[in-house]
């Protein structure tokens, strides 16, 4: 899933517990793994050097591709925060704090995954094992139109159902 999808979903779930910001963050964090279990599309990250035989050996390599990867990932995260704030803050008048905490919580596992790919320390190793276990093996990476469309429809569904 893209960070935008994670952010909006995590924020929407966190708004279900508006008086408990820490719980909203935890719910957002947990939602990441549930969303990754759904078949989805993800954009490529050129800085990754994947080990096809053991995904725990995947690493991020700082190179000329890293700038564009960071730009792409950063834009995705900022878009997620902006859309979550717009949809949930302006239209449904939820607290921006709970929206922000749910969104950040839901995006954090991917940030921690990058940390793991650079530094294979605990508790990052355990979290990466959880990430690998939860992640669907059925990918839509070769179907970008279907993949993006399915995530847009999922976001709309989440925002409408949870509100």
Q: Are residues 49 and 59 in contact, defined by beta-carbon separation less than 8 angstroms?
A: yes
What percent of the chain lies above the pLDDT cut of 90? Answer: 64
Rounded to two decimals, the pTM is 0.91
Question: Which residues, including other chains, have CB under 8 Å from residue 19's CB and lie 6 or more apart?
Answer: none
CA separation, residue 59 to residues 45, 46, 62 (Å): 11, 11, 10
As to burial, measured by CB atoms within 10 angstroms (0-12 exposed, 13-18 middle, 19+ buried), residue 87 is buried
Cα–Cα distance, 13 to 17 (Å, whole number): 8
Per-domain residue ranges of the chain: 3-162
Whether 131 and 107 have beta carbons less than 8 Å apart is answered as no
- For helices 3-14 and 144-162, angle between their N-to-C axes, nearest 10 degrees: 10
Q: What is the pLDDT of residues 131-161, one digit of tens each?
A: 999 998 887 878 888 888 989 998 999 888 8
Question: Which one, of 3, 7, 2, lies nearest residue 24 by Cα?
Answer: 7
Could you give phi then psi for residue 90, rounded to 5 degrees? Answer: -80, -45
**Cα distance between residue 19 and residue 95, in whole Å:** 10
Confidence band for 52, pLDDT divided at 50, 70 and 90 = confident
Residue 90: band (very low, low, confident or very high) from pLDDT cuts 50, 70, 90: confident
| Cα–Cα distance measured from residue 134 to residue 156, given in angstroms and rounded to the nearest whole number | 23
């Amino acid at each position: 899933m893209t960070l935008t999808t994670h952010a909006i979903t995590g924020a929407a779930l966190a708004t279900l517990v508006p008086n408990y910001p820490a719980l909203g963050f935890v719910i957002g964090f947990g939602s990441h793994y549930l969303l990754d279990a759904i078949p989805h599309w993800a954009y490529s990250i050129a800085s990754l050097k994947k080990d096809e035989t053991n995904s725990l050996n995947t690493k991020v390599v700082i190179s000329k591709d890293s700038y564009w990867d960071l730009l792409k990932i950063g834009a995705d995260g900022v878009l997620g925060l902006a859309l979550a704030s717009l949809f949930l803050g302006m239209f449904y008048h939820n607290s921006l704090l709970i929206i922000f905490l749910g969104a950040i919580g839901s995006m954090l596992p991917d940030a921690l995954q990058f940390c793991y790919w650079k530094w294979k320390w605990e508790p990052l190793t355990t979290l990466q094992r959880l990430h690998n276990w939860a992640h669907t093996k059925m990918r839509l990476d070769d179907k970008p139109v279907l993949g993006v469309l399915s995530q847009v429809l999922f976001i709309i569904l989440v925002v409408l159902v949870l509100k």
